[in-house]
Structure formats: C-alpha cells, structure tokens
Amino acid sequence: MQRQFSMPHDFESYLNVRNARERFQEAEEVRIKLSEGGIALKSNADHYAIFVDPPRLVAEPLKRVGYVLGYDSRCYPSPVDGCDYINVAASLPRSSAARERGWCDHVAVVHPVDGAAYEHMIQQGYGNPFIHHITWGIEPPTSGCDGFELAGVLVSTMVQVRRRVSDILQANPGTLILALPQEITSSKGFNECFRQWIGDTPPDEFELQIMEGGGYLLQFFVLKGGRIELALRLGTNQTFNPKSVHKISKDELSVDQGHARR
C-alpha cells in the first residue's frame, strides 16, 4: 500500500483522526514547495501535535506503534487561546522500524485540563482527536564545526530558512524561537556574535532562550493558527523546551485554524 501524502501508510490502522488526510495533504504540499525552493527537509516529520480528550484515545494506539509516552520525563503546559492544555510527548526509540513506515520522531499529545478548554477545542469542529500541526524537520548543516561556530551556523541557517519560507509560501512566518545551550549563551562574546548571526531580523520577530537539557531547537510556525511548523533540532535531550512551548502556545497557536484548503 502506498503512503497517502506524507501520512504513514498504516496511520489509519492505528488512529482515527477526522482531519488527518487534510492536514497530511497540506503538509506534503508545503514540503514539496519548500524542497523545490532549496530547503533541505528531513524525510520524516519531526512531530505532529494532536489535540485529544481523553488522551488515552491517542496514547494507547501510539504505544502500539512503538512510541514511548513521556520519553523525556516531562510535560509541557500549553496555554492556547487563553485555555489550559497539557502536552505530553510520545517519542520513537532510535531503533524503531516505524520510521521506515513514515512515522514521525515525536507526537505531542495535547489534552485540555478543564471544561472550558475542552469546549473551546470541540467548538472548532475538527473532531476529537484532531491534528493541530505537523512539523517538518530541517536537516542540520553538515559543517563539521562545534561550539560557537556551530551555533552561528545553525542560527544563520534558520534565519535564512525563515526568509525563504516567507517568500515561497507567500505567508508571514511566526516568531523565530532560538533555544540554544546555556554554555553557548553564557560564553564571552556571545551577544556580539549573536547580533551578527540574527542579521536584520527585527527584535519582535525572534526570541532567544536557553534550551533545557542541552542541544539546539530552533523553530517557527506558518499558516493560520500554526498549521505547519519548521524546526531545526540537534543534540536535544528533551522533546521540547518548556519556555518555548509556553511562548508558542500563548502567542503563536490557535485551535481556530480555518480550513487547511483555502
């Protein structure tokens, strides 16, 4: 059986998600445009974010696929549209054969913590569960460098990717979130170097953070409500960065996403 769009070929054998085909088709169309525009993407998605209540509707099937719930021993409060949700990450072990079938590295299982959040989620009409966004991973540059030089290459790359995505999709990208290792941000001369890396990106269009657990996670969203995300991940021990999740959920995302096809 051939894969449907960028959907894992056995996705519907495990998960009943009403808007899955719409989201996957849009994600594949975006992937093709970005790839044709010269942006190097990983073959599998970095993660999907799925809103659901109760979470076992998604968590149990994901376990059968091979995902480990709470792989990074964290949960991530996610205040979307002023409502309270909790994100628990499910991750595939490195050796999982599910990637060969098209499954992503991680799934954010996001559930409402109270009735107000549940009602707001359901009112959008996408179903329960529904895919909120699909995140394409950017291939890290193979420069062979490390330390400050590596940080500069990654930040500069993501700045360029964000500009090109804006041109290719003719859509305004969200805030560029740059979560870097503390040993980099606390190093002498970092501020001066960072100003060079970020270039002429306006201050209100990026946010610099320390990546908890180490490594790099650089990301931004595009399309209404944050339906598509681009992320460059390298050497992370946590699936997400708590400060990034809070910022993105509060200011970048909405469960009101319109229709994927406009």
Q: What is the 3-state secondary structure (H, E, C) of 231-246?
A: EEEECCCCCCCHHHHH
Condensed to tens digits (0 to 9), the pLDDT of residues 166-206 reads 999 998 999 999 999 999 999 999 999 999 999 999 999 99
Among candidates 122, 17, 18, 105, which has minimal Cα distance to 61?
Answer: 17
Number of H helices, E strands in the chain: 8, 10
pLDDT tens-digit series, residues 45-93: 999 999 999 999 999 999 999 999 999 999 999 999 999 999 999 999 9
Residue 259: the pLDDT is 56
The answer, as to whether pTM is greater than 0.85, is: yes
**pLDDT tens profile 105-153:** 999 999 999 999 999 999 989 999 999 999 999 998 876 677 889 999 9
Asked if pLDDT for residue 27 goes beyond 90, the answer is yes
The pLDDT assigned to 262 comes to 38
- Smallest Cα–Cα separation from 169: which of 104, 219, 227? 227
Give φ, ψ of 178 to 5 degrees: -120, 95
What average pLDDT score do residues 202-215 get? 94
Q: Where are the domains of the chain?
A: 11-134, 138-251
Beta bridge partners of 49: 108, 133
Per-residue pLDDT band for 254 (boundaries 50, 70, 90) equals confident
Q: What is the CA radius of gyration of the chain?
A: 18
Q: Look at residue 196 in the predicted model and tell me its pLDDT.
A: 95
